């Protein structure tokens, strides 16, 4: 607290009190009727905030259009047809592979590998949550 500070002198306290009283007089003074009427007239009078732009003529409109044409305006993107060419044109043809008979060893192993490479049903549903919400079964 500044008032109780031991470094605070009596002269400083008197000066601070005088300043506070001076400021309070300025804030709390009663305004006269004439001063109130002057303020009301000032408040009701229209105030110009933004300067009025000059009237538009054909020349100014033409200049605006020219300036607008120089700028890049946003446009809706339009996907055009693909106009690229793959060069060189490939001439290689895929080689047809013969189907392996199922009665051979290679055919049987291929079928087993096909079955084993399928995704596990349990992998699609890793967790089941109980109705009460207390446990999660993996």
- Which tens digits make up the pLDDT trace of 27-75? 887 766 667 677 666 666 677 788 888 999 999 999 999 999 999 888 8
Mean pLDDT estimate for the chain: 82
CA gap 77, 136 in Å, rounded:
48
Statement: the pTM of the whole predicted model exceeds 0.75: no
Residue 82 tokens, joined: 């693909």
- The residue extents of the domains of the chain are 109-137
Tell me what pLDDT residue 133 has: 64
CA gap 102, 110 in Å, rounded:
9
């Amino acid at each position: 607290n500044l008032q109780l500070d031991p470094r605070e002198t009596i002269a400083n306290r008197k000066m601070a009190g005088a300043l506070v009283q001076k400021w309070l007089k300025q804030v709390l003074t009663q305004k006269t009727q004439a001063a109130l009427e002057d303020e009301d007239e000032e408040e009701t009078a229209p105030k110009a905030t933004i300067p009025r732009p000059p009237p538009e003529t054909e020349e100014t409109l033409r200049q605006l259009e020219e300036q607008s044409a120089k700028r890049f305006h946003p446009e809706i993107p339009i996907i055009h047809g693909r106009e690229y060419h793959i060069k060189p044109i490939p001439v290689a043809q895929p080689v047809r592979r013969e189907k392996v008979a199922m009665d051979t060893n290679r055919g049987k192993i291929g079928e087993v590998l096909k079955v084993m490479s399928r995704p596990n049903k349990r992998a699609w549903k890793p967790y089941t949550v109980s109705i009460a919400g207390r446990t999660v079964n993996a």
